[in-house]
Amino acid sequence: MLNLSKPDSIRILLFLVPLILLSKVVLAQEATSKQINADEALNELLDQVWNFELASSPLLATNVGDPRGQDRLADDSLRAIQARAERRREFLKNLEAVPVDTLSEGKRIDHELLRRRLEGQLADFRFKTHLMPINNRGGFHIRFPELPRVMAPKSEKDFANYIARLNDFDRYTDQQIELLRGGIKSGLVQPAIIMRDSLSQVESHVVEDLTKSLFLANIAAESKSNLGAERWNRIKTQIEDSLTRSVIPAYQRFADFLRTEYLPACRGPVGASAMPMGREFYLDRIQRFTTIEISPEELHQTGVSENARIRSEMELIKQKVDFEGTLDDFLAHLRTNPRFYAKSAEELMQTAALILKRADGRLPELFGHLPRIPYGLQEIPAYVAPQTTAAYYWPPATDGTRGGVYYLNTYNLSSRPLYQLEALSLHEAVPGHHLQLAIQAELENLHPISRESNFTAFIEGWALYSERLGKDIGFYKDPYQDFGRLSMEAWRASRLVVDTGIHWMGWSRQQAIDYMTANTALSPHNIVAEVDRYIGWPGQALAYKTGELAISRIRLQAEQALGDAFDVRSFHDRVLEAGSIPLPMLEQRISQWINQQRKADTKKIRA
């Protein structure tokens, strides 16, 4: 022990204190230097991967406002797909060499998102998902007609690029046909039942009257008028030539291929387990879409339990509106009573627009930070409306040049209940998909490739969580609308049961339809469309309820930990400020935020 009463001891102490302080400064500088070096190494790798992705996917470049490759479509030949997989293996190997512990907080997010992105892409290649590039709701043939909206050509140069892509569609279609032929040989084909309308989807683009082609009709009127009549007429002639020589013949060729080769080869069993490596593939999809380690059996039981809870809440609303009869009778009443359905597409769209206007004005009560990028409301295109779901959201360009779009299905109005429209609109637009994805597009603290992250459990979990947020800003005053919200929640809980039932437990399509009918207020048309969606997209439907349950649980933990100091606006800002991230990372970030809030609260008390 040091005796400070002696002069020698004091001299030793005076010598040691600066030395200790100096050593701490040196260690801190070394740690900072290591962090800077690790951050720089990761940034360099992120840039390499991002440039590679933009060069490989010209439409991704379009979406983020990057000028490269605007006159072409991707190379989806088997050789190119193999080469991309090999390059991604190299990227992953280089990423694993970056020391995570020495990265700054923001770069740790970038590191984790890149790791999951690369591992997911390599898993897709291993399971040969490139040999199944279409299903009943998606594929190149369904996405391509969105090209006028995606590119939004304005100048003569823009239209030259647009026309070049129309001309390239001929080559691109042939590559997709070759991939699908490879799928036939490998036993990787879609179930026949869900592909029954695919031929009509394709043939709708084989038109004789070119003015009815979406590639011409969907070009913005203001773009035409700004060019002037003479220039527009010249460009229009070039577009018509591209449609005649490339696009329409390609769609006809694809229709012939579907009719004569693909559809006859489609499989009978509906579950993913029937495919080669099917059960292993489904387990991978569970992890991919939920971002957590969880078994099919646990997901299935969670859905059953959630439906039991929701059903008891539905019973209370049935009693509140004085309906005499069972809950099943009440569901039948809601499905068949005309008062609950719009009489025209205009009425449905106007009702949704009013809901969104009300929501916009209340958002500051829930969020400290709101996005600048706007959104619009449009009808789902007629060529895909019969086969798709009630609504969907199309994200904005990450460079802010194009707003988001909430697409609402006006086909078969007797299957579009008004009592679900509040929950549906809050989910798809604000405070759901648009608010979250627009904020993500505007983030400046993440690398551009991280701003493109799309973890379904986070994105869809947030949107489902947002439906319930409507209660905090004046929605669901009408008990039927609140029942609609519960029905939407039951719909997502039922997905846990039905998806695992179909792809893991051997359920038939009819079993899935019967379960949805018994546990949701969805119309028969919507139920069939939804079940067919789950069949064609294994695992994706699991993300919604899994993500919502996680976000709700994390919020409850924060409320319990902080008590009166809990600020919902600050909480929501923290949830959204890193973009779409895996659920375990979200939980970790909120735990850090709780500790920060506690420290800040302690300082206030001391002050």
The answer to whether the beta carbons of residues 125 and 78 sit under 8 Å apart is no
Which pair of tokens denotes residue 600?
A: 């800040």
| Whether 241 and 312 share a structural domain | no
In a shared domain, residues 149 and 43? no
Q: Clarify whether residues 99 and 147 are in a common domain.
A: no
pLDDT value, residue 596: 93
With a cut of 50, say whether residue 190 has pLDDT above it: yes
CA 272, CA 284: separation in Å to the nearest integer? 12
User: Domain check: are 172 and 315 in the same one?
Assistant: no
The pLDDT of residue 1: 43
Contact 454, 448 (CB under 8 A): no
Q: Are residues 143 and 125 in the same domain?
A: no
- Tokens read off for 5: 């009463």
The model's pLDDT over 89-134, given as tens digits with 9 standing for 90+, comes to 999 999 999 999 999 988 999 999 999 999 999 999 999 999 999 9
Q: What is the pLDDT of residues 194-241, one digit of tens each?
A: 999 999 999 999 999 999 999 999 999 999 999 999 999 999 999 999
Domain annotation covers residue 207: yes
Domain contains 330: yes
Domain boundary among 87, 112, 130: 130
Report d(CA 34, CA 99) in Å as an integer: 9
* Spatial separation of the C-alpha atoms in residues 344 and 221, rounded to whole Å: 25
> What pLDDT does residue 398 have?
78
For residue 358, is it within any domain?
Answer: yes
**What digits encode the pLDDT tens for the residues 351-375?**
999 999 999 999 999 999 999 999 9
Give residue 389's pLDDT.
Answer: 82
191 with 90, same domain: the answer is no
Same domain membership, residue 158 and residue 84: no
> Mapping DSSP to helix (H, G, I), strand (E, B) and coil, where does residue 405 land?
strand
Those residues with Cβ within 8 angstroms of residue 123's Cβ, 6 or more apart along the chain or in another chain: 284, 288
Number of folded domains in the chain? 3
Average pLDDT rounded to a whole number, residues 426-454: 95
> Where in the sequence is the domain holding 290, given as residue range(s)?
281-549
438 inside domain: yes
Specify if 365 maps to a domain. Answer: yes
User: Which of 541, 106, 72 is CA-nearest to residue 296?
Assistant: 541
Q: Is the same domain home to 386 and 464?
A: yes
Does 314 lie in the same domain as 453? yes
Q: What is the pLDDT of residue 4?
A: 44
Q: pTM for this one?
A: 0.90
Residues 98, 240 within the same domain: no
Residue 463 lies in a domain: yes
Which one, of 440, 193, 461, 480, lies nearest residue 337 by Cα? 480
Of 130, 165, 193, which one is at a domain's C-terminal end? 130
Residues 538 and 423 in one domain: yes
For the beta sheet containing 391-394, the strands, ordered from the edge strand earlier in sequence to the opposite edge, are 375-379, 404-408, 391-394
In the predicted model, is pLDDT for residue 516 greater than 90? yes
- Residue 545 banded pLDDT, cuts 50, 70, 90: very high
Token code pair at residue 370: 């709101």
β-bridge mates for residue 393, sequence order:
406
The predicted pLDDT at position 385 comes to 87
Six token digits for residue 308:
């039991």
For residue 264, pLDDT over 70 is answered with yes
**Per-residue pLDDT tens digits for 470-489:** 999 999 999 999 999 999 99
- Cα–Cα distance between 150 and 160 in angstroms, integer? 15
Mean residue pLDDT of the chain comes to: 93
Query: Helical H runs in 187-228?
Result: 198-203, 214-217, 221-227
pLDDT tens digits along 279-305: 999 999 999 999 999 999 999 999 999
Domain-embedded: residue 560: no
Contact in structure between 422 and 475 (CB atoms under 8 Å): yes
- For position 603, what pLDDT does the model report? 67
Q: What tokens were used for 127? A: 């399971």
* pLDDT value for 2: 40
Contacts of 385 (CB under 8 A, 6+ apart): 379, 409, 410, 411
* Residue 606: predicted pLDDT: 62
In a domain, 581, yes or no: no
* DSSP labels, 474-512: T---SHHHHHHHHHHHHHHHHHHHHHHHHHTS---HHHH
Of 232, 267, 302, the last residue of a domain is 267
Q: With 70 as the cut, is the pLDDT of residue 23 above it?
A: no
CA distance 230 to 462: 49
For the chain, the 3-state helix, strand and coil shares in percent, each to the nearest 5, are: 70, 5, 25
One domain for residues 168 and 208: yes
Answer yes or no: is pLDDT of 33 > 80.
no
